[in-house]
Amino acid sequence: MSPIASQHIRSGDAEISYWSLGDGPPVVLLHSFPADHEIWLPVAHELAVRYRVVLPDLRGHGESEVGEGPATMEKHAADIARVMDDAGVGRAPLAGVSVGGYVLFEFWRRYRGRVTALILCNTKAPADGAEARAGRLQAANDVLERGTEPFFESMIPRLLGKTTRETRPDLVEGAFRMMRRMSADDVAQVQRGMAARPDSVETLKTINVPTLLVTGDEDILTGANEAELMRQNISGSQLRVIPKAGHYAPWEQPEEAAGILRQFLDVL
């Protein structure tokens, strides 16, 4: 089963692309940075047996335009609302990896009536500290000056777990393939948007829908500590750790990730 042709919509100042596959109750999956909807495809094929899976490319990623200025969480959240409108999805469970999780915090603040459940994968609630923010802004400047390839190469050991890097060259190459769909301007504006994102720790306490937290045991960016912080602050949330997976856990261990998501979604 392959995804249908991409749909293209206007959202604010950008053209946003999304895909859908399968039939049944909808579920929306948001990818990580620097990647695109492809990171979810192996999991989406498993879910599509029972669900209609909607897979947007966030602005500045994949086939979606970045628009003018930083790709803020507000812009991303509005884009997802527009995608859901176009796809005929009123309310649904939404999942997000990394920046996809940051977008979901903003989406919850603005459009919580459209959220029936949350799946927060390899993400974290706190805003960037001063050092991390400065690092993002420096990286944004660097890619505009030197191109994207040094940045992408530096990200691989941070994004993919040790097991994946040592045993799955195909997944490493696939990660590069997704990254290389982003231009220097895309990377810079997405980084600037993430640097400006608000703190979401207080938001966690307002989440009152079923929530699943997922991380990888080799995730050095947003590992078990960040997931545990979310678990303690989101009433009734469940935490699952995927073995032999880094920050791109659904890409690295799709069968395990799909099983965890199905187990959660099937009882909603």
Lookup: tokens for 13: 């100042």
- As a whole-number percent, the residues of the chain with pLDDT over 70 amount to 99
What is the average per-residue pLDDT within 19-29? Answer: 96
Q: Using the predicted structure, report yes or no on whether residue 1 has a pLDDT greater than 70.
A: no
Which CATH superfamily is 7-265 part of? Answer: Alpha/Beta hydrolase fold, catalytic domain (3.40.50.1820)
pLDDT confidence of residue 5? 77
Q: Using the predicted structure, report yes or no on whether residue 40 has a pLDDT greater than 90.
A: yes
- As a whole-number percent, the residues of the chain with pLDDT over 90 amount to 98
- pLDDT tens-place string over residues 177-235: 999 999 999 999 999 999 999 999 999 999 999 999 999 999 999 999 999 999 999 99
pLDDT confidence of residue 3? 60
pLDDT category, 4, cuts 50, 70, 90? confident
What is the average per-residue pLDDT within 92-101? Answer: 98
- Whole-angstrom distance, CA of residue 83 vs CA of residue 17: 8
- pLDDT tens-place string over residues 120-178: 999 999 999 999 999 999 999 999 999 999 999 999 999 999 999 999 999 999 999 99
Domain ranges of the chain: 7-265
pLDDT confidence of residue 246? 98
Out of 1-10, 85-94, 142-151, 201-210, least confident range: 1-10
- Whole-angstrom distance, CA of residue 101 vs CA of residue 140: 21
Q: Which amino acid is residue 59, in one-letter code?
A: R
User: 199: number of CA atoms within 13 Å, CB side?
Assistant: 6
pLDDT category, 2, cuts 50, 70, 90? low
Lookup: tokens for 216: 């990888």
Nearest to 182 by CA among 42, 18, 58, 20: 58
pLDDT confidence of residue 174? 98
What is the average per-residue pLDDT within 26-54? Answer: 97
Please, where are the H alpha helices in the chain? 41-47, 73-87, 99-111, 130-146, 149-159, 162-167, 169-179, 184-195, 201-204, 224-233, 249-252, 254-265
Nearest to 61 by CA among 92, 89, 103: 103
pTM score of the predicted model: 0.98
Residue-averaged pLDDT of the chain: 97
pLDDT confidence of residue 56? 98
